[in-house]
Chains A and B, each alone.
Chain A
Amino acid sequence: MTITINGSDYAVPYDSRVSLLDMLRERLSLTGTKLGCNQGACGACTVLLDGERVLSCLTLAAQADGRDVLTIEGMQGADGSLHPLQKAFIEHDGLQCGYCTPGQICSAVAMARELRRGDPSHVTANLAAGPDGPTREEIRERMSGNLCRCGAHNGIVEAIEEMLGREAA
């Protein structure tokens, strides 16, 4: 009964009502993951579960038993350097207050994988062929599950474009 979080194992809480978000923040002091709406509507609590982006506020910790969780605290390099996307967010002013940022970064890292895999989105014109590369329209649609109250979306999209451009290069 353990959950691997950023490479370390933790016991699943005894009280099965505890959400993954509350486990991270209240029990493990991993406060990088943010509590916004607590009902699935904002994306601030986004983490990766076995590599796929999910909402930790609607995930019971018990549902993550035996699985691998990656949070914003686990994004940095082994030497403590920032993740390339974190650097790009700083360069492109992809934030103002910063509250939505950990969720945005986790979400975008997983989104890049979905794009590479060729998963379609709502705006993908040719469903069978898959996405036509990382266009702004694709990025905006794919990131619609992460709201930013400060309205930093333009910078967020630019930062993600830069990361995807570097990957393609």
Chain B
Amino acid sequence: MTPFAFHVARDCAEALSLGAASGARFIGGGTNLVDLLRQNVESASKLVDVSRLAANIHEVGNGALLVDASVKNSALAAHPMVRGRYPMLSRALLAGASAQIRNMATVGGNIMQRTRCAYFYDVDGARCNKRQPGSGCDAIGGFNRYHAILGVSNDCVATHPSDMCVALAALAALVHLVGPEGERTVPLAEFHVLPGASPQIETVLRPGEMITAIELPPATPAMANSEYRKVRDRSSYAFALVSVAAGLEVVGGKIAEARIALGGVAAKPWRATRAEAALRGLPATRANFLSAAEEELTKAQPLEGNAFKIGLVQRTTAAVLESLAGERA
């Protein structure tokens, strides 16, 4: 680890001015950043601790829920309004990491966490375009069981590892940002970007900009009737092979609204808009769920080690939607 200064930000304005220095990095819980600094994947000259900024969850005028970026993952998962109105979000958070890590991890840090691609971490032994642009990608042709099947490029096939973000994408959450040029909001589903020829660029966040909050839109029936299912190599404390966040509203046997997002398949939480559109107005049957999921994956580009993800995503999506249809029927 290279030496760095450490400052605690007392308010947003102070965080922004401290964070404007070159080499400065925001730190939330540190559960990802401390690890990456220690392994020399990343470096910093200054850490700006944003974990002590206000950490509130409150309802705003129209019934939307505003969650400050410093709210801990465990606090968000346990919040009564989240459990009641957006169960897929509580479920996604509770499926992630361990109780200790959820107590430390912040909402902002969770969104910004980096890939778990083992080659990305292997500073001395592996080539990685994300870590060192232009050096190559050892995952392509290497061990790629955990890697992406959608939105991949010839330069990077890494996945975004967050469970929380998959639910946020399905809920159409907004990310609130503030930076040197002022405030703006970006839909969570557009916050992370696909790798293309520059996998080192992972989000639309600008230099010096920070996440201040996420906004959950007023709950619809499909948000309230929602689930998160995670498939992994052990039943707890493991990253997803694939995961599905889904919400469903069935009226008179026909699908009024389906919300679906996929995890473990791309460099971003993947909102399955094609499948959602395909399902609208159809009867809520397993066959329809399966063919919608198939349609979403027609453009999948599997690697040697992860072709199983295509079928796994289809079956998991269909199973989740079936159980949601059952609960409403």
Contacts and interface: CB of A to CB of B under 8 A. Distances in A.
Given A40-B31, A60-B6, A120 B83 contact: yes
Interface string A125-138: 00110000000000
A121 interface: yes
A71 interface: no
Contacts of A16: 3-6, 47
A122 B87 CA distance: 11
A55 B3 CA distance: 22
B142 interface: no
B232 to A, nearest CB: 11
Interface string B55-73: 0000000000000000000
Contacts of A110: 99
A52 B100 CA distance: 8
Contacts of B13: none
Given A15-B3, A121-B94, A128-B83, A55 B35 contact: no
A134 to B, nearest CB: 14
A59 B47 contact: no
Interface in B90-107: 90-91, 94-95, 97-101, 103-104
A43 B101 CA distance: 9
A4 B74 CA distance: 24
Given A43-B98, A60-B6, A65-B8, A17 B1 contact: yes
Interface string A44-86: 0010000011110011101101000000000000000000000
Q: Which of B27, B29, B47, B237 has the most CB of A within 10 A?
A: B237
Interface of A: 15-17, 19, 38-40, 43, 46, 52-55, 58-60, 62-63, 65, 107, 110-111, 114, 117, 119-122, 124, 127-128, 140-142, 144-146
Listed from nearest, the 5 A-B pairs whose CB atoms lie closest are: A145-B98, A144-B236, A16-B6, A62-B6, A122-B94
